[in-house]
Homo-oligomer: A and B are copies of this chain.
Amino acid sequence: MSFLVEKTNGKARAGRLKLAHGEVPTPIFMPVGTYGTVKAMTPRELESLGARIVLGNTYHLWLRPGLEVIAAHGGLHRLMNWPHPILTDSGGFQVFSLQTLSKLTDEGVTFRSPIDGSPRHLTPEVSMEIQRTLGSDIVMAFDHCPPGDAERAVVEDAMARTTRWAERCLSVRLNPGQLRFGIVQGGVDVELRLEHIGELGALAFDGFALGGFSVGEPIPEMYRVLDAVADRLPADRPRYLMGVGTPEDLLTAIGAGVDMFDCVLPTRNARNGQLFTSLGKLTISHARYRDDLAPLDPACGCETCRGYTRAYLRHLHACKEILFARLATLHNLTFYLELVRGARRAIFEGRYDEFAGVTRARLQSDHF
């Protein structure tokens, strides 16, 4: 594999990441496929939207369908019928955020499966082994992610543990072609973030992620820290901002030097009737759309906007029809993927700041 930065524009970068299952242009947004499916979408549809890499959740897939079933398929790609790259997280974030009863030691985390009550022990080594079985193109290190409002001592403790765990992750052999990314913690303290970048940056990871953002801290804090630290991650390797965020977040982070993103926002909001458009967010349940024959976003060329009216979408949403989740997800993912494609073009053309400014202004125009 190799990561090539093709063009920079300020701190923003356009690149190309060669992975075992294909090449990914950056900046890129990765749709989230928690249980081996990007909710409501088929792999063919994701392809047609231009998605080239998706994210799978180790925690969820470990519990269901379980490693035995995934191994029988020869990995996650064939299980879910997705031939393109996959990044899997380490499972750590989900254990910390979804499990109310878990026990953390330096060895790892012990918890009970909420599916069948079985005891589970997740360690750096186990996470690597699970992700080796999943066969993902990018394997994430097992980290300790504290809450957004954690005290400095807690953050420092998590950083130190994350570094020790990172070294243990690196000691596990993966499959040929699998890359491994380290995860930087440090909360919203620039000094701590830079310290952790120094520690992890010295290790032999193929890329680096910023973890511990969008975990409850104020957005301006996140922007401030991103702006100060993202471009201090090793310049020759991809930079991934985990679990973030809104279109505005992506614009800011790309401007700070981030290359990769994942977030449930476009897919989850779609199912809840929150649509992203070129003129800001649209809540389809509003009465004003009852008779509205316009497409969802007249500036969008997706199947949803070409074939259906706002009034029909509102009706499908009111009736809880599956087709609503489909058409809304299709549109929101198109919006996100088009956003990062636009950013990439703008970087190549040396006008990223202008692109980000104009796009941000349109998104905040409060049109709806």
Query: Copies per complex?
Result: 2
Say which one of A32-40, A232-240, A358-366 lies at the interface with B.
A32-40
A79 touches B (CB below 8 Å): yes
> Does the CB pair B40–A312 fall under 8 Å?
no
Alpha-carbon distance between A100 and B290 when the two chains are bound, in angstroms: 29
Least CB distance from A86 to B in Å reads 15
A291 touches B (CB below 8 Å): yes
Alpha-carbon distance between A42 and B316 when the two chains are bound, in angstroms: 12
Alpha-carbon distance between A107 and B73 when the two chains are bound, in angstroms: 62
Q: Mark A307-347, 1 if CB is under 8 A from B, else 0.
A: 11101101110110111011100000000000000000000
> Does the CB pair A40–B81 fall under 8 Å?
no
> Does the CB pair B39–A311 fall under 8 Å?
no
Q: Mark A72-83, 1 if CB is under 8 A from B, else 0.
A: 110000011100
B residues within 8 A CB of A157? none
Known interface pairs A65-B311, A81-B307, A312-B80. Does A39 touch B73 (Cβ–Cβ under 8 Å)?
A: no
- In order of increasing CB-CB distance, the 7 nearest A-B pairs are A65-B315, A40-B322, A37-B323, A81-B307, A35-B319, A37-B321, A72-B291
Show 24 residue pairs from A and B whose CB-CB distance is below 8 angstroms, ordered by the A residue: A35-B316, A36-B312, A37-B316, A37-B321, A39-B323, A40-B322, A41-B323, A42-B326, A64-B315, A64-B318, A64-B319, A65-B311, A65-B312, A65-B314, A65-B318, A69-B291, A73-B293, A73-B309, A73-B311, A73-B312, A79-B312, A79-B315, A322-B326, A326-B326
Least CB distance from A139 to B in Å reads 22
B residues within 8 A CB of A307? 43, 81
A68 touches B (CB below 8 Å): yes
Alpha-carbon distance between A293 and B68 when the two chains are bound, in angstroms: 12
Tally of A interface residues using CB under 8 Å = 38
Alpha-carbon distance between A327 and B43 when the two chains are bound, in angstroms: 12
B residues within 8 A CB of A322? 39-40, 322, 325-326
B residues within 8 A CB of A323? 37, 39-42
Least CB distance from A185 to B in Å reads 30
B residues within 8 A CB of A79? 309, 311-312, 315
B residues within 8 A CB of A303? 42, 44
The interface centre, meaning the residue of A37, A64, A311 with most chain B CB atoms within 10 A of its CB, is A37
Least CB distance from A326 to B in Å reads 7
B residues within 8 A CB of A290? 65, 69
- Contact residues, A280-294 vs B (CB, 8 A): 290-291, 293
Alpha-carbon distance between A309 and B81 when the two chains are bound, in angstroms: 9
Instruction: Apart from A39-B322, A44-B303, A65-B290, list 14 A-B contacts with CB within 8 A.
Output: A35-B319, A39-B321, A40-B326, A41-B323, A42-B327, A65-B311, A65-B318, A68-B291, A69-B290, A69-B291, A69-B311, A72-B311, A73-B312, A79-B312
Least CB distance from A250 to B in Å reads 25
Alpha-carbon distance between A183 and B327 when the two chains are bound, in angstroms: 36
The interface centre, meaning the residue of A64, A303, A312 with most chain B CB atoms within 10 A of its CB, is A312
Alpha-carbon distance between A308 and B79 when the two chains are bound, in angstroms: 7
